[in-house]
Structures are given as structure tokens and as C-alpha cells.
Amino acid sequence: MFTINKRLIGLADICEKDTTSNIGKVYCKNQGEKVITVATDGHLLLEITTSNKAIDYPSVDLSQNKEYSTTLIPANKWKSILKTIPKNHSHPILSNTLISPQKGNGAEIGVFNFESVQKTIIQGDEIQGDEIQGGAHHPYPEYEYLLKPKEKETVIKLDPKLLGKLISTLITMEVDYVNLHFTEDPHNAIRITSTNPHEDMIQGVIMPLRKD
């Protein structure tokens, strides 16, 4: 079993809207002391690695089978389950839900709040994912390959609030795309250019955070 914290609720917004598709679900993999959680819509992909706090979670009556370590939770279920976790609780461990993977990437999920336990069952299925090397199948896109560092990368540290402000503003200008121009020097500003259907010419910069 493993825990998922309430702060990961936003992963549901990354998923494909069609929850019958595998990428319309949040993928979780129990790795013992760590939990890998992945969401994608085929264009965006986000992987979160968190600590597994199952050993500290209150006793919840969930079926356990050590044979299973992965689960796929529909995005709408993911959001509704994490919303039931109490807010600002004085016991940090109760900011989590407890998940027990079941056959076919299904799951039994419990949320404990002292007064009661809310249980949710996610039915597994036999839907197979994309065919990968050797003719085998994987229930989710090959995110590990996509996230593998490339030989030459320039790492630039940005303030997420500034980045969000910039993107939100560009969306209001009805842009269809954004070009990012950056150099190998991580201290240089990232230049941004774009146009929209109204033929407005847009350019700007976002400054990187200074390294610690």
C-alpha cells in the first residue's frame, strides 16, 4: 500500500479529458519507500516522486496483495477522492489517502478522518497500453524514456508564479503558440516571441532566478 498527499490533486487537470483512456487517468506506482505518480494528456507530462507514508497511516480495512504495485485512477475520481481529505488538519499524516493496488491496475482507496473512513473502489480492467519493444504492452505511455535527461541540456531556474503570469497573459492575447529562445548561459533571460490570428507581433523576456 502507499499514500498520496492532497497537494497532488492538480494532477487531474493534466490528464486527457476522456477518462476511459489510460491517459485520462493518473498512474501510480509503489516503489516501497517512494511513490511515482504520473499524469499526461499526450502533450504535457508531469511525474511526481513522493515519500510513502503508509506505515504511519491509521489502520484502514483495505484488501492487500503484494503482487500488485501499480494503479490507474480516473482523473475525475482522483480529484473527488482527494477533495474529501480534511483541510488544515492538525495531524499531517491525515493529509493523505491510503491506496492499495488491485488486479488490472484497479485500487481500493481509504480516507481516514477520525470519525469515519471513506472507501472507494476503482475497478481494474484488461485494457492494454501501447505496444513497446519486444511485443510486450505497458499500461501507460513510456514516461521514463520521455523524462530521461538528454546529453546536452541547459538548465534554467524560473519562478513558477512569473511563468504562470506570463502564460496566462499570452492566453488572453489569443496566441496559438509560444517560441522560447534561450542560450547555453542559464543566467541569460529567456526571450519569448509569438503571434496571434490578429497578426499582433508579441515578444518579451522572463528572467531566470539567481542560483543559490
The 10s digit of each residue's pLDDT in 83-95 is 999 876 688 999 9
Q: Are residues 53 and 136 in the same domain?
A: yes
Least confident of 63-67, 72-76, 88-92, 96-100: 88-92
Number of H helices, E strands in the chain: 3, 11
- The domain of 166 spans 160-206
Task: Tell me whether residue 41 is in a domain.
Answer: yes
Angle at 67 (CA atoms; ends 59, 12), nearest 5 degrees: 70
Tell me how far apart the alpha carbons of residues 55 and 25 are, in angstroms, rounded to a whole number.
26
Number of domains in the chain: 2
Q: Are residues 118 and 170 in the same domain?
A: no
Using pLDDT thresholds of 50, 70 and 90, give the confidence band for residue 212.
low
Using pLDDT thresholds of 50, 70 and 90, give the confidence band for residue 100.
very high
Q: Are residues 105 and 193 in the same domain?
A: no
pLDDT at 113: 82
Tell me how far apart the alpha carbons of residues 102 and 138 are, in angstroms, rounded to a whole number.
16
SS3 162: helix
Tell me how far apart the alpha carbons of residues 84 and 98 are, in angstroms, rounded to a whole number.
12
Interacting residues of 49 by C-beta distance below 8 A, sequence separation 6+: 34, 35, 36, 37
Q: Are residues 32 and 73 in the same domain?
A: yes
Task: Tell me whether residue 192 is in a domain.
Answer: yes
Interacting residues of 112 by C-beta distance below 8 A, sequence separation 6+: 57, 58, 60, 94, 98
Q: Are residues 171 and 123 in the same domain?
A: no
Tell me how far apart the alpha carbons of residues 36 and 17 are, in angstroms, rounded to a whole number.
21
Using pLDDT thresholds of 50, 70 and 90, give the confidence band for residue 145.
confident
Whether 159 has a pLDDT exceeding 50, the answer reads yes
Whether 138 has a pLDDT exceeding 70, the answer reads no
Task: Tell me whether residue 111 is in a domain.
Answer: yes
Using pLDDT thresholds of 50, 70 and 90, give the confidence band for residue 131.
very low
Q: Are residues 112 and 7 in the same domain?
A: yes
Least confident of 6-10, 54-58, 143-147: 143-147
Whether 126 has a pLDDT exceeding 60, the answer reads no
Using pLDDT thresholds of 50, 70 and 90, give the confidence band for residue 12.
very high
- CATH for 86: 3.10.150.10
Residue with the larger pLDDT of the pair 127 and 194: 194
Using pLDDT thresholds of 50, 70 and 90, give the confidence band for residue 134.
very low
For 134, phi and psi rounded to 5 degrees?
90, 5
Neighbours of 17 (CB within 10 A): 10
Beta bridge partners of 107: 101, 122
Neighbours of 147 (CB within 10 A): 11
Q: Are residues 130 and 182 in the same domain?
A: no
SS3 21: coil
SS3 192: strand
Residue with the larger pLDDT of the pair 154 and 101: 101
Burial tier of 120 (Cβ tally within 10 Å: 0-12, 13-18, 19+)? middle
Task: Tell me whether residue 211 is in a domain.
Answer: no
pLDDT at 124: 82
